[in-house]
Structure formats: structure tokens, C-alpha cells
Amino acid sequence: MLKYFSNCISLFYPPYCNGCGNVLVAEEKYLCFSCLKSLPRTDFHTCKDNPLEMVFAGRVPICRATAFCFFRKGNMVQHLIHQLKYNGNQEIGVYLGRQFGLELIQLGVFQSVDIIVPIPLHFKKLKRRGYNQSEKIGKGMIEVMPKPLDSSSLIRVTDTSTQTKKERFQRWENVLDIFQLTRTDLLAGKHILLIDDVITTGATTESAAQLLLTLPAVKVSIACIGYAGS
Ligand SMILES: [Zn+2]
């Protein structure tokens, strides 16, 4: 009965692909198969010293880093991340996280990860947006990767959204006190997978990784949906 009503609703309000705008068929969700297949994947997880790992090389001793897709001006990934961050479409984050997780599982990447930690938002920004986009990505990932998601042990104490116009050096000084740890016992001794939505210079992610690495016997890896570097 429920399916009948859902089919009726789809008839009058068919779901559209967030990529190309075509009507989705029953098995498709958020993106049509064609758009899902055409996402500009980085395949960074298949190679050591990939471009994202090189972003952090010499800055912070992480284990591995990878990105699901390339984030470029005007590409589909930029459009989807925009939907996720500024149009309230939080399900896109869960969807992208799940697709990313499926790919990582199939390749056996991050098997030694113990816990997934999303990069937190400052509480003011969280209040404005209503959700943390990186946490949504993490939620999608744990649907297919059997790992715990910890969204409360790492918190953001500095709102950096007003700092985007400053020079990188000035930003770096502030970046050191962006985050704080609330529950060190939950993270000590663990291999932590830090989740971010988009990484460009990596400064914020690096700051979180530096702080986590002050805990005893911690290893940090990094995964993001969009790699915006060159
Ligand atoms: Zn499409």
C-alpha cells in the first residue's frame, strides 16, 4: 500500500537527478546511474604519495589521505557540495559518503581505521546551517563501513569563516587554536579517519590532525569528498 502511494507521488512529483536534471528511475537516488558513473573520481586511494598526501607531506605525519572526486569550478562535484552546504540538501552528503565508502570497501582501503571523526563546525555555524556536512558524509560512510562515528570528541572553538580573505600566513597562526579535544580517552591509541567535505590548502584539516596526533599512540588518515588542489 505504502509503495502504491509512493509510486503515485512519484508520478506527480518525480524525483530528478541532482546532476543532469533527468527524471530518476526507481533504483536511482539523488543521481542517475550515468551521472554517478561520470563523477570525476581521483582514484587517489590506489596510490601512495598521491597529490592529497603530498599536500600534507612535511606538514603533519598522517598515514594516508584520499579524496573521492576532483572539485573544480563548475563541475558536478562543486554543484553537489553547494547543494549540501548552502541549499540544505543534507541527504546529498549521506549519499556521497555512502558511494565513497563503497569504493573504499571494495578496494580494502582504511581497513585498519578504528574510528571516523568528521571535521567539526563552530557551534554558531552549526546553528546557522542546522547540520555538519562532514558528519553527513561520515554517516553515509558508516552505512557501508562498519566503524564508529565520533562527532563530539573533537570540537571547533574558533569560527574561521570570517578569515577567508586573510593571507595564508596570518591564517596559519589562527589555525593552531581552531580545535579542542573533549574526550581524549575515546581517541587515544586509535587509527582515526578524519572526514572533510572539500580540501584546498589543507590548513584546517592539518590543524585538526596535529591536535589529534598529540594523543598517545594515535594514527591519523584523511578522507574528503572533493579535492580542490591543483
Ligand atoms: Zn543525471
Q: How far is the CA of 195 from the centre of ligand 1 (A)?
A: 26
52 Cα: distance to centroid of ligand 1 (angstroms): 28
Whether residues 115 and 26 fall in one domain: no
* Total number of domains constituting the chain: 2
Q: What is the pLDDT of residues 112-140, one digit of tens each?
A: 999 999 999 999 999 999 999 999 999 99
Q: Could you read off the pLDDT of 3-58 as tens digits, one per residue?
A: 555 555 455 567 999 989 999 998 898 999 999 999 999 999 999 999 999 999 99
**Do residue 86 and residue 29 come from a single domain?**
no
Residue-level pLDDT at 7: 55
List the domain range (segments joined by +) for residue 122: 40-227
Query: Do 113 and 205 reside in the same domain of the chain?
Result: yes
pLDDT digits (tens, 9 = 90+) for 88-116: 999 999 999 999 999 999 999 999 999 99
CATH assignment at residue 93: 3.40.50.2020
Closest C-alpha among 115, 135, 111 to residue 125: 135
78: buried, middle or exposed (CB in 10 Å: 19+, 13-18, 0-12)?
middle
**Model pTM score:** 0.89
Q: Are 71 and 25 contained in the same domain?
A: no
Same domain, residue pair 60 and 31: no
Question: What residues does 29 pair with on adjacent strands?
Answer: 31
Q: Are residues 142 and 53 in the same domain?
A: yes
Distance, CA of 62 to CA of 59 (rounded, Å): 9
- Report CA(28)–ligand 1 centroid distance (Å): 10
Bridge partners of 69? 41, 226
